[in-house]
Structure formats: C-alpha cells, structure tokens
Amino acid sequence: MKRLTLKDVAKMAGVAPSTVSFVLNGKGKQMRIRDEVAAKIMQVVEKSGYEPHRVAVNLRTGQSKTLGLIVESISGSFFASLAKTIETEAEQMGYNVVYCSTENNAQKGGDLIRMLGRQMVDGYLITPAPGMEKEIQQLVQHHKPVVLMDSYFPAIKAPYVLIDNFGGVKQGMEHLISKGFTKIAFVTVEVKLIQLQERLRGYMTTMKDHGIPVRKKHILHLKYHKQREDSLLEMQQFIQDNPEIEAIFFATNYLGILGLEAIAQLGLRMPDDLSVICFDDHDIFRLYPPGISVIEQPIEGIAKTAIAMLMQQLGKKPVPVKKQAVELPGKFILRGSA
C-alpha cells in the first residue's frame, strides 16, 4: 500500500500542504490558522492513518525526541531494571527510548552506536563493553550527548555514573571478616571491565587491611563467553579443590546464581558449610533459602542521575548535576547466607 504523503493529506483536507505542516508542527495559532481548519486537518490525519516521515521530521526540527540505550544484556535483571527506570524518567521529559544489547561484544556495540546515529537519536546512554573506546571517543569529539553507566573508560572524558564498586565490596568483606572468617574466596569474570576490577580491588584491599593474606588460589576468574555448564563444573571444581574456604564473595548476580547451583549440587549448606555474599541483588536471592546476602545497586539513582546528565547536555537541565563523574553508594543487605 502506498504511503500517504503530506500532499495527500492536504488534498483530502482541501488546504495547502504548508497549512498541514504548520498544524502538525503545533504552529497553527502562530500562523493564524482557524481552529475549524486545524480541527479538519487533524480529523483527516486520524482517519487516514497518516504518519509524518520520521527522518524528514528529524531533519526539520533538529531533534528526534528519542534516546538510544545500549546495555550489556537487556535480559539481565540489573540492566532490565535500569532500562525500565530510564524509560520512565525519559518519558517524563518527553523522550522515547530505543533499547539495544551488546552482549559484551565491542564490534556489536560499535555497530549499535552507528545504527542509532542513523536513526538520529538525540542522545546516548551506554553501559560500555571493553573495546568500545573508539566509538565513544568519536561521540565525545563530535559533541554528541552521551552518558556512560555502570562502567567507563578513564582516558575518555565522557560523563559517567555507577555504583561505588570498591566501597560496596568492602562493606560485604568487613562483615565477613567481623564474623571471624579469614579464608574468603572471590569469584569474578575474566573481562576488562573497570567495575569488576574495582570489585576485585575492594576484596584484595580489605583482606590486606586486616592483615589477611590474599591467596591466588582463592580467586576464580571465569571466562565470560564460556558455556554455562562448563562454568558450573569449573565452579564446583574450585570449591572442591579449596575445602578450607569459609565464605565466597560473588562479583555479579549471575555468578551468584551459578554459585548457588554449584553449592547445592555439592551438598553444601549455607551458612553452615559456606557463607555467601553476592554483588547485585536478584529476586532469586530473596526467595532462595536461607536468603542470600547482597550488595544492592542504587539502580534508581543511577538511572535518574544518567538522565539528568544527558538532559543537561541537551539543554533541558531538570536537576543540575555538578559532577561529571558520579559514584553512588551501594547498600549491604544482610540475609541468612552470611
């Protein structure tokens, strides 16, 4: 079916194309177009199903009222909650949001940035994957509104907001050490993300601050793209090879979920055989007996701060954000596992 044009609408309404354009762009009163004429045009638009060509509108107005959101995985609980809050905040500012996932693949991330650029989004909200430095640097150099979330690149001067990863782990570690534990393991992912590096640093620094030796064999680095079953077997082997371990700190919630399965399959009980803390909460952790202690991320705070930062760049400024690098505190939630 042939797409209706502005000229078609003008013909059906019996007016000039420019009159239709003025009415659709909210300039009817400014151009002194009579109310009955404007009403007739809108009636024709509604009945005909006419939709203005998006690219043409963007070119004419200089804005799309759309934001591009690029996260690691929209299926992950943290990113899904973050995206939902961002969408709510953006809607209040009159913007729509386009969602994309990189699956921590830099090439895909670069392709998504270029795709969103072709769609003429007004701004970018990105949780960057390692290797996306070039594309993000180009956004900054071309003065494109962009805010990084959950991670950042120290060499790139782009605004960012994330949790205090170091401080969050320190909270959990201080609790475990206060319980008398000295043989504490740390499970993370072998990927160059600054937030994971900071979590590992939080673990190691807190151990050293208390005079507890950091044993390399008590730190497990799992491959990011490894098959789930293989990672599960590796985690089980890690626990079996280190029977002296008193507690485990999981660096992400999906590692924590995998860890719960490994612990259960080995017939171990929490907290009798092993105490457990996980970075980032999940519904499972509230329901899984005896309840898993976590470092809760300030998802709402991250989303609202990111939107405020982006709106500043877009000239909206709903809430002034003085700093261009924001770290928000996490919250230690004590449950039965620790």
The superfamily (CATH) of domain 6-52 is lambda repressor-like DNA-binding domains (1.10.260.40)
Sign of CA dihedral 187, 286, 181, 239: negative
Each residue's pLDDT expressed in tens, for the chain with a length of 338 residues: 566 788 888 899 999 888 888 887 777 887 888 899 999 998 988 888 777 655 454 545 456 789 999 999 888 889 999 999 999 999 999 999 999 999 889 999 999 999 998 888 999 999 999 999 999 999 999 999 999 999 999 999 999 999 999 999 999 999 999 999 999 999 999 988 899 999 999 999 999 999 999 999 999 999 987 899 999 999 999 999 999 999 999 999 999 999 999 999 999 999 999 999 999 999 999 999 999 999 999 999 999 999 999 999 998 765 566 678 999 999 999 999 99
How far apart are the C-alpha atoms of 33 and 41, rounded to whole Å? Answer: 11
Alpha helices by DSSP H, 69-189: 77-92, 106-118, 133-141, 165-178
Enumerate residues 6+ apart whose C-beta is below 8 A from 106: 129, 130, 131, 132
The correct answer on CATH 2.60.120.1310 for the domain covering 165-297 is no
**Contact assessment for residue 95 and residue 67, using Cβ atoms and an 8 Å cutoff:** yes
Q: Which CATH class is domain 64-162+300-328?
A: alpha beta
Distance (Å, whole) CA 226 – CA 190: 10
Separation CA 105–CA 233 (nearest Å): 25
Supply the angle between the helices 35-48 and 17-24 in degrees, to the nearest 10: 90
Burial annotation 50-76 (CB, 10 A radius, 16+ → b, else e): bebeeeebbeeeeebebbbbbbbeeeb
Q: Apex CA 328: angle with CA 325 and CA 331, to 5°?
A: 165
Per DSSP, what are the bridge partners of residue 126? Answer: 70, 148
What is the number of alpha carbons within 13 Å of residue 114 lying toward its C-beta?
9
| Residue ranges covered by each domain of the chain | 6-52, 64-162+300-328, 165-297
pLDDT score recorded for residue 318: 56
C-alpha distances in Å from residue 111, one per residue of 30, 118, 170: 42, 11, 37
pTM: 0.80
**Fold matches, 6-52 and 165-297:** no
Helix (H, G, I), strand (E, B) or coil at 226: coil
Q: What are phi and psi of 221, to 5 degrees?
A: -105, 110
